[in-house]
Structure formats: structure tokens, C-alpha cells
Amino acid sequence: MLSTNDIRAKFLNFFKSKNHSIVASDSLVPKDDPTVLFTTAGMQQFKPQFLGRDLTYTRASTCQKCLRTDDLDVVGKTDFHHTFFEMLGNFSFGDYFKKEAIAWAWEFLTGELKLPKDRLWVSVYKDDEEAYGIWLNDIKQPKERIVKLGDKSNFWPSNARLNGPNGPCGPCSEIFYDYGVNPNCPNGAQCDPDCSCGRFSEVWNLVFTQFNRKDGGVLEPLPAKNIDTGMGLERLVAVVQGKKSNYETDNFTAILSVIKETVKSNSGTMT
């Protein structure tokens, strides 16, 4: 069975073989970015590259330590949400764009990790015919497993077009793993990746960063088109290890068994 460490290494090696510079994770409190308190995504340390201010390299890949509080209300209630997590990512700064980003994501999941193709669904931004066409015609993804979603789900940052924040943003395409019909889902077999019943785990978000949002919701085209992808390592590991919950993977079982033992051995001394 592939471990969390194996999967992280496989991802970075795969993108190294596609001529990406492998860059270390940035600090959880970003060094030079007064717009955010914590690092919430792999792209954050690359803002100068996305804005065309630093082109030391045009392709990079990372495993970034992240802290997110925007979905704090569901942490502990679902199998897939965390506050702290690791995010795998590959980035293009004015180099490759949608065609390569989609093809390499598919090659990594189905070729390197050998995930069954019929378990993978994708979503695209409702107006992004280019991404839709690549999935349908190049990848040969059946149209029954491609869904078109709106600004909340398929624009990154979520709803940025309407609500901000300012900075690099764009439409995105997500890849989901289908755990099979949830008998308790009110939508039954008609359920799709927009449903929150737990049938679908969103594993990878491919963001086509082509705008710089400014005050008033102005979307200024960036000097060059970019790619920013984010894949939650813990979710991917759950899928690869055949677990429904991130907390049942090798990354957590050792920690949880120490906690269980500690609680058991201290329970007699608690008042």
C-alpha cells in the first residue's frame, strides 16, 4: 500500500519529470503578504510570479502546509475537512495552460496512481467551453461525468469575481472521486459533485489563473495566463488507500492510537 510519504514523493517526482522546479513549503504565516493572516493555499507564495514580477522559473511544484478556517463549521463533522492540511500543487507562470494542466492531472491520477477512470468525475466553470472541450475531446471523459458549476464552486478564490479578495483569480475545474451512491442522499442516484452527501470527495482543483481582480470587481487580464492547482494530500491518500475517511489513513492512525492509549491510561486520574 502506498503511504502518505510515498504519494507526496510520487507527486513531486512526477512534476519534476515535467520540468517543474520543486520548491519548499512556505511558512504557515506568509512572510511578505499583508493581505492574509495564514497560508491557505499553495499559490500564495507565488503571487510575485503570478503577477509577472519574478520569473526566475516558469514551472513549480510544491507540497504546501496550509491552514484554513473558512469551513471551520464542518471540520469534525465530515470525513474530509481539516483546519491544517498539506496541499500538493503544480504551477505555471505564463508557461503551459489548460491543455497540459488537465492532461497531466489525468495522467497522474490514472497512470501513476492507477485510480479507476470510471470513479472520477469533473466539474468546469459554467462558461468555460475550452476546459469542457479538453475533458470531453482530449481526455475522452464521458459527458455524464462532467458537470458545469457556477461562481461559488468553480471560480477561485470562491466567488472572487463578485466578492473578492483582490489579486490573481480565474475559473477552475475540479476532479472528484466517487465513493458510490449514498443510500441516505435525498438525490439518490441523481446526486452529482455539487451535492454534500459525502458520495464525492473533491481531490484536485485546477485553477486557470488569468485575471487580477481589482477594487470594484474589475477583472484585469494578467500579462500571461497561469496555472495554479491544489490537491489535498489527506483526501488523495484516503482515496488511494481505499478509506472513506481521511482519519483512517496512515497519516492519522498512529497519532490516534497514541491519543487513545494516553486517554485510557490517564482516565483513572481525572477528577
Binding site for ligand GLY (CB under 6 A): 41, 43, 156, 205, 207, 228, 230
Q: Which is nearer to ligand GLY, 135 or 156 (CB)?
A: 156
Cell of 179: 465513493
Q: Which is nearer to ligand GLY, 228 or 234 (CB)?
A: 228
Q: How far, in Å, are 8, 68, 87, 96, 125 from residue 247 at the CA level?
A: 17, 18, 16, 35, 31
Q: Which is nearer to ligand GLY, 193 or 230 (CB)?
A: 230
Minimum distance from residue 11 beta carbon to ligand GLY (Å)? 15
Minimum distance from residue 150 beta carbon to ligand GLY (Å)? 16
Pick from 9, 202, 7, 206: which is nearest to 100 by CA?
Answer: 206
Q: Which is nearer to ligand GLY, 14 or 91 (CB)?
A: 91
Pick from 178, 94, 100, 88: which is nearest to 134 by CA?
Answer: 100
DSSP 180: -
Cell of 258: 497514541
Pick from 252, 210, 229: which is nearest to 64 by CA?
Answer: 229
What is the SS3 string spanning 45-96?
A: HHHHHHCCCCCCCCEEEEEEEEECCCCHHHCCCCCCCCCEEEEEEEEEECCC
Q: Please state, in angstroms and rounded to a whole number, the distance separating the CA atoms of residues 40 and 122.
A: 23
Nearest-Å Rg of the Cα atoms of the chain is 19
Q: Which is nearer to ligand GLY, 68 or 185 (CB)?
A: 68
Which burial class, exposed, middle or buried, applies to 248 when counting CB atoms under 10 A from its CB (0-12, 13-18, 19+)?
middle
Q: Which is nearer to ligand GLY, 100 or 250 (CB)?
A: 100
Three-class secondary structure of residue 216 per DSSP = helix
Q: Which is nearer to ligand GLY, 38 or 248 (CB)?
A: 38
Minimum distance from residue 36 beta carbon to ligand GLY (Å)? 12
